[in-house]
Structure 1
Amino acid sequence: MRNTRWSRLVAALSTTAVLVLGAGCSETGLPVLDPTTTAGASAPAEPGSVADPTPASVTRARTALDGLTVKSIPGKDSSYERDAFGDSWSDAATGVQFARNGCDTRNDILRRDAVPGTIRTKNGTSGCKVTAGTWVSQYDGARYTNKSKIQIDHIVPLARAWASGAKRWSAARRLAFANDPDNLLAVDGSSNQSKSDKGPSAWRPPKAYQCGYAVRYIGAVSKYQLPITKSDKSALTSMLDGCRT
């Protein structure tokens, strides 16, 4: 009987190990998640698209928002440097779609967020470098076919993350954050420049896109256990209240 119980225990542990390895773990201590199924944002309707939030994802965002630490965060921290988050757009994106695929994160996100079927790359459809495509910016709703008009936004800006506590993270954790698909979105350059390093209380996209922005922002700060300010929490609550669910 003892041997039988031991065999069952080993089998159960083996199954658990397979599940954990399937999800993946990085040296940052954060789970390596498939970016299409994270708690913060809803799964895209089809590969390569960024879907609007579902009622379930909005509910999860409300719960996560209630659990966030609220504290004062400096508007600017003079010690911040972009290099503290590692090389820009290294091949550090995680998740089933991106992990160790040999492509830099910028091109990964350009491919993910493009209108399905519109992407062209340097080597046909399988290469890393995206040369053309069509994007609908989640910050202004406009359709773009000129890649030079598209920028990759850190939904939670790096400078704001730094001031919120990322300055005390390991270099590996900061690199993971800077290249995390859950915190990245292909948007129009004009909106990205306007947003800059601002948080939700200082910048919002047009009303039609505030729900998605709020859900993604909450998902990112919750995943990395970053605090938010009282005014940011108020702004995020207001945006969630405007979700059409």
Structure 2
Amino acid sequence: MLVLGAGCSETGLPVLEPTTSAGASGTADAGGNAGSVKPSTLSQARQQLGSLEIKTIPGRDSSYERDAFGDSWSDAATGVQFGRNGCDTRNDILRRDAVPGTIRTKTGTSGCKVTAGAWVSEYNGARYTNKSKIQIDHIVPLSRAWASGAKRWSAARRLAFANDPDNLLAVDGSSNQSKSDKGPSAWRPPKQYQCAYAVRYVRAVSKYDLPITKSDKSALTGMLDGCRT
């Protein structure tokens, strides 16, 4: 189940406790309780969705610059779950989302460098033991955040967003490539994983005060309606 709690970050943004599961990604197994959330979590997601600004967002913004979000998987982001722990963000998320007890790390790296493990992708329910098959997805794509207003953020805020565990998930590379920079109205995982995806998406855009489109709101509402409590 997804379990959320709120705090406050060094940048003034709310910090939400990580989700917990067989990994930490909300998927117990390939079909277990993937669509289940606590009633309070579902209520919070619906409330957050209802308060989001509705705005027309261009599908592609020609001014988008990936480099404007800082170095890929930087450890420099502050005020987030793993900020400045000496490990890069990719390895932080690989450890967080792995099936418990499966992670192995390279000696001499303070437990940072993940060398092996098992992951259940929340985008297709399949289990993977080949790390090269796992990618770290930005649930709210960086290019979509840019077009939604992140282009006007400070560099520090963009860096925090790009490395924020609340907007990151270890998933299979094929699903991640299919999702690309699409929003909820253009892409969604299989039905049994839509609840967790919708809760995470709403949580991220709400945390950073990003608007969504009318069609995205409709898609997210439908996915939340499919949640089990």
TM-score normalized with structure 1 length: 0.83
Q: Report the Cα offset of residue 98 of structure 1.
A: 1.5
Q: Percent identity?
A: 80
Partner of 1:233: 217
1:135 aligned partner, one-letter code? W
Q: How many residues align?
A: 214
Separation of aligned partners in 2, 1:199 and 1:82: 17
CA spacing shift, 1:133–1:93, aligned 2, 3 Å: farther
Instruction: Name the SS of the counterpart of 1:80 in structure 2.
Output: coil
**8 Å CA contact retained: 1:136, 1:187:** yes
Q: Greater share of helix residues, 1 or 2?
A: 1
Q: Report the Cα offset of residue 157 of structure 1.
A: 0.2
Give the root-mean-square deviation of aligned CA atoms: 1.8
How big is each residue's C-alpha offset from its partner over 1:143-201, in whole Å with a ceiling of 9 and x where there is no partner? 00000000000000000000000000000000000000000000000000000000000
Structure 2: gaps spanning 5 or more residues: 1-6, 27-33
Matched, 1:29 2:12: yes
How big is each residue's C-alpha offset from its partner over 1:63-93, in whole Å with a ceiling of 9 and x where there is no partner? 1000000010010000101101000000035
Partner of 2:24: 49
**8 Å CA contact retained: 2:80, 2:164:** no
Q: Report the Cα offset of residue 97 of structure 1.
A: 4.9
CA spacing shift, 1:96–1:179, aligned 2, 3 Å: closer
Separation of aligned partners in 2, 1:57 and 1:102: 31
Partner of 2:226: 242
Partner of 1:99: 83
1:1-245 equivalent positions in 2, closer than 5 A: 25-26=9-10, 28-31=11-14, 33=15, 35-36=17-18, 43-45=19-21, 49-51=24-26, 52=34, 53-92=37-76, 97-123=81-107, 126-245=110-229
Larger RCO (CA within 8 A; separation ≥ 6): 2
**8 Å CA contact retained: 1:94, 1:180:** no
